[in-house]
Chain A
Amino acid sequence: MTAWRVALAVPGLAALAYATTLPWNVPDDDARRSVLTWLAGGVILHDGMLAPIVIGLGVIGARWLPAPWRAPAVVGLLSWGSLTLLAIPVLSGNGVDPTNETLQHRPYVTSWWIMSAAVVAVIVAAGWWRRLRSVRARSPSPRGRTR
């Protein structure tokens, strides 16, 4: 085990050391500030905003959502949130070149609404299905025996 840990940690330290020798090309304070903002910004946004929101939604969901809908809501929200986060660049439209009709000319905002509606529909449907299944499992079978 120790050998394996050393075999991982030594190249790890070497990679960090190598990173410091690379040309970061940050010639001025603006560039340096921008790098630090982007490095720290992601962590701050996640730990300070996204994580508390998700935990809050979890508390609300556990209190208010009927049981059959809870698991579908978790998976649905995770999918919706991931797709929304990774689509932010195209949704923003900031990278669009008006002279170029071949890149980023899909109806992203419409697609996002349809995707959002589809996620809600799947959560609702999956919850109904789970509810029906659990009701059936609990109700007596036609021969009068309970399981």
Chain B
Amino acid sequence: MGRDPDGSNGLTVIPRVEDFSHRLRDPRLTSRVGLWLGITLSVTFLTGVWSHFQQDTPGWLTIPTSPYWLYRVTQGLHVISGTAAVPLLLVKLWSVFPRLFVRPPWRPSHAFVLHLLERGSIALLIASAIFQLATGLSNAAQWYPWEFNFRSLHYAVAWVFIGSLLIHVAVKLPLIREALGEPIDRDEPAPPPGGLTRRGLLRGTLAASGLAVLATAGSTVSWLRNVSVFGVTDGEGPQGIPVNRTAKEARIERVDDSWRLEVIYGGASRMFSLDELRGMPQVSHELPIACVEGWSGSGTWTGVPVADLVAAIGAPPGSRVFVVSMQRRGGLRTSELPGHFVDDRRTLLALDLAGAPLDLDHGYPCRIIAPNRPGVLQTKWVRRLEVYA
């Protein structure tokens, strides 16, 4: 407990900076942990913005269809690097925790304003970092214990985070450069018997970060499946791929022979039965389902290239296609394929997966599967394709 400023023996409830041990809490450690934290969270930020653009593409950007595995990698990295940041953030906060108790210069002054500004930017930084990791990890497990729209908030707070991080680095830059330029053990007092050194704590933190990755990354890195005991999926599922939203949850009971695919273009409309679709030239491609929650799996899909259906109704190449599912409600019941996705012949209206008709949970009788697309846009149980030139 801290002593009063006049040095008397009266105890105050709020501790002071000097009350904490500063043997390991040293800028040379903090800056190194901070560097790793900055790297992991910057990767998380960039891949997150990319994922947002994939789902909500701004006019100036064209999402490429190649490489077909791109979204699988970026979204896997997004969740992996966010997970890796958890131990780094904990140690980073531990190492600077005494700073919470720095007494501000109380008199109104230039220094007081600067102090408040720095405090404010740090508060934004820590609040947004914890918010992003907590809501992100929770979303990966499809648990939404809040009253806001996850995607809107996770995106907006990401910009708060990266902004306050850049300001924080700008404020601390002289200290960071000095600390990173020195050996980590410069001026380090000898540890008490058996105690950790700064280097030991840094290595232990990186090891904990690695463990966090091993414990979860198997959801997307298949050879880690058996060690990723806290991953959301073990990769098992009907026809070898996990399911995000089951038919039952989407209220799709069964699909009988009366099912028809409707393709609309201009004033024209054409119906295709399942047999007619199977009568068209079939194409097979190995393509991933890459979920926004970070898990992914890969399978061999067979079906009709969407481009062939667009041609069959007389629409020109480069037409975009609006896809409507049999699902009655929810934001996932529609998606839009931009013209260049339609033109890519790997973009299929898939009928088969792994050599057998689609499981009902995978979207029987047919679903969209396209290269480099988030799983939420690979619409299942397709009922209608609306073609727009």
Contacts and interface: CB of A to CB of B under 8 A. Distances in A.
Interface of A: 1, 4-6, 8-9, 11-19, 22-26, 30-31, 33-35, 37-40, 42-43, 46-47, 50-51, 54-55, 58, 62, 65-71, 74-75, 78-79, 81-83, 85-90, 92, 94-95, 97, 99-100, 102-106, 108, 111-112, 114-115, 130
A106 B229 contact: yes
Contact of A46 (B93, B153, B211): B93
Contact of B167 (A1, A12, A22): A12
A108 B229 contact: yes
Contact of B194 (A16, A33, A40, A66): A66
A106 B231 contact: yes
Interface stretch (B3-11, B137-145, B278-286, B300-308): B137-145
Given A15-B159, A62-B192, A103 B215 contact: no
Given A42-B127, A83-B230, A102-B236, A74 B211 contact: no
B136 to A, nearest CB: 10
A57 B21 CA distance: 14
A47 B163 contact: no
10 contacts: A17-B163, A24-B152, A38-B131, A67-B194, A71-B195, A90-B230, A94-B141, A100-B249, A108-B229, A115-B215
Interface stretch (B59-67, B84-92, B347-355, B380-388): B84-92
User: Chain A at the B interface: mostly helix, strand, loop or mixed?
Assistant: helix
Given A13-B163, A97-B142, A99-B248, A8 B169 contact: yes
Interface stretch (B238-246, B255-263, B365-373): B238-246
Contacts of B167: 8-9, 12-13, 16
Nearest to B151: A25
Contacts of B274: none
Given A13-B163, A103-B242, A95 B194 contact: no
A99 B216 contact: no
A51 B149 CA distance: 30
B123 interface: yes
Nearest to A82: B87
Interface in B203-217: 204-205, 207-209, 211-212, 215-216
What are the 8 closest A-B residue pairs judged by CB atoms, nearest first?
A67-B194, A12-B166, A42-B130, A15-B163, A75-B204, A89-B141, A95-B143, A16-B163
Contacts of B148: 24-26, 31, 34-35, 38
B94 interface: yes
Nearest to A26: B148
B74 interface: no
Interface residues of B, number: 84
Interface in B139-178: 140-149, 152-153, 155-157, 159-160, 162-167, 169-171, 173-174, 177
A93 B246 CA distance: 18
Contacts of B245: 97, 100
B131 A102 contact: no
Nearest to B142: A95
B319 interface: no
Contact of B134 (A4, A9, A15, A38): A38
B195 A22 contact: no
B229 A111 contact: yes
B47 interface: no
A18 B196 CA distance: 43
A30 to B, nearest CB: 5
A89 B138 contact: yes
Contacts of A16: 124, 159-160, 163-164, 167
A103 B243 contact: yes
Nearest to A131: B194
Contacts of A90: 141, 230, 232
B149 A25 contact: yes
Interface in B183-222: 192-196, 200-201, 204-205, 207-209, 211-212, 215-216
